[in-house]
Structure 1
Amino acid sequence: MDIGYVGEVVECDTSIVDLAVAGEVVPVVSPVAREIGSRATLNVNADIAACALAKKLKATKLIFLSDVLGVMRDPKDNSTLIPSLNPDAIDQLKKEGIISGGMIPKVDSAVDSLRGGVGKVHMIDGRIPHSVILECFTDTGIGTEIVL
């Protein structure tokens, strides 16, 4: 199936992000890229783009906000949330079919970013008030953390 102009991240220019951070401005980054050579505009998977940027910035944390609590054994049952995962556990859950569909690029990108120097990845539900604070500054968190 032809899904249009889709690309992969091979390099990140962080100069504008660095300027925004230095100016105490929170940057909002769209996952759009330019093709090397033709300079054609390409869409990039947002999870993959975020991980590439986090690796380049040597981020301590990468947080995915979505409309799910995190990685769950049963996506229909919030009580099955898995609070912490590592690459071996992720591989096993993928083999079992527990991690599937759209969650695969998220966890694969998370592991790639960890191996690229990011300290920890969090997957949390952005619809929950104060979700970032609850995940990062409480003992138990509210989502799934992924660590090496």
Structure 2
Amino acid sequence: MSNSVTSERFYFSVDTLSLIRKYAGSTFVIKYGGSAMKSKSLQLNVIYDIAFLYSLGIKIILVHGGGYLIDSWLVRLNIKPKFERGLRVTDANTMQVVEMVLSGYINKNLISLLNQYDIPALGLSGKDAKLVTAFPLSQNFNDFTGKVDNINDKMLSTLLDNSFLPVIASVASDVKGDTYNINADTLASAIASNIKADKLILLTDTPGVLYNIHDSSSLIKHINLNEIYNLKSTGVITDGMIPKIDCCIHALNNNVPAVHVIDGRVRYALLYELLTNNRLGSMLVL
């Protein structure tokens, strides 16, 4: 049997069956966003992989962003997107757009796609039943970019134990009821850490962790925490990849045994990464 990646079909490898047995009953937190979300065909491919993993008896929590669509709507409304150190700066007007796009459009669209495979998906934001409470990342009173304060892990456990697949938009509120935009990688990492997930999987628009960001052949398929720190200190990991890697580090230091960073634009990316030993992305471990 072949292990090669193809745009047409997923080829089971000799190790697939043992990996399926290994993962049955496990809990995976998957973060979905970026360029892997830009087209209908890409969305359908990702949802198919998630539905397939769910059918194998894997418990899945799907956390999503949608920055590309937020930016598109901001431009339409003559609001200039702003970023600092790879994170969005969210003023009051931007926050309204963020919530509209994430909770009102993308979340329900993903639920609709999962419904096509008869997956009992449940669309949520952090605001629902205080699933996620937040506090401001900045001291600027008009910046509604938030950090995770608390996760209602009992609610998530109840949903997973009853075979639901939670689909969570990265929006939350603080104790006063103010709404905050939380980076989806950050939220996925916090959720994975709180529920002690077996894996955190970040679907990105890069092959994974690279020695050279301009050369996809420099992909690092297996990397430990000490090596990650070294890549950060030497400037190999830079710019927008820094907050993503920081989320990986947080998860590894807080109960999550493995984190995967993979290119969500590749057909069957999730299946090749999880159900073959060759894999196609980066696996980060302690």
Alignment TM-score, normalising by the size of structure 2: 0.49
User: Is 1:131 equivalent to 2:218 in the alignment?
Assistant: no
User: What residue in structure 1 maps to residue 160 of structure 2?
Assistant: 21
User: Is 1:30 equivalent to 2:169 in the alignment?
Assistant: yes
CA shift, 1:22, in A, is 2.7
User: What residue in structure 1 maps to residue 62 of structure 2?
Assistant: none
User: What residue in structure 1 maps to residue 285 of structure 2?
Assistant: 147
CA RMSD of aligned residues (A): 1.6
The match for 1:73 among 196, 211, 215 is 211
State the alpha-carbon separation in 1 of the partners of residues 233 and 253 from structure 2. 21
Please list, as runs of the form range in 1=range in 2, the aligned pairs for 1:16-95 lying within 5 A after superposition.
16-36=155-175, 38-95=176-233
User: Is 1:3 equivalent to 2:90 in the alignment?
Assistant: yes
Letter in 2 for 1:94: K
Runs of 4+ with >4 A deviation: none
- Aligned residue for 2:189, secondary structure, equals helix
Contact 2:90 2:181 in 1 (8 A): no
Please list, as runs of the form range in 1=range in 2, the aligned pairs for 1:87-126 lying within 5 A after superposition.
87-126=225-264
CA shift, 1:110, in A, is 0.8
Moved more, 10-19 or 53-62: 10-19
User: What residue in structure 1 maps to residue 96 of structure 2?
Assistant: none
Letter in 2 for 1:93: L
CA shift, 1:115, in A, is 1.1
Question: Alignment identity in percent?
Answer: 35
CA shift, 1:10, in A, is 1.6
CA shift, 1:26, in A, is 2.0
The structure whose residues are more often strand, as a share, is 2
State the alpha-carbon separation in 1 of the partners of residues 166 and 244 from structure 2. 21
Aligned residues: 147
Q: Deviations over 1:94-121 (max 9, x none)?
A: 1221101111111111111111101100
Q: Deviations over 1:12-66 (max 9, x none)?
A: 0134433432332322111111112x11010011111101000111100010001
Contact 2:210 2:219 in 1 (8 A): yes
State the alpha-carbon separation in 1 of the partners of residues 275 and 235 from structure 2. 31
- Unmatched tracts of structure 1, length 5 or more: none
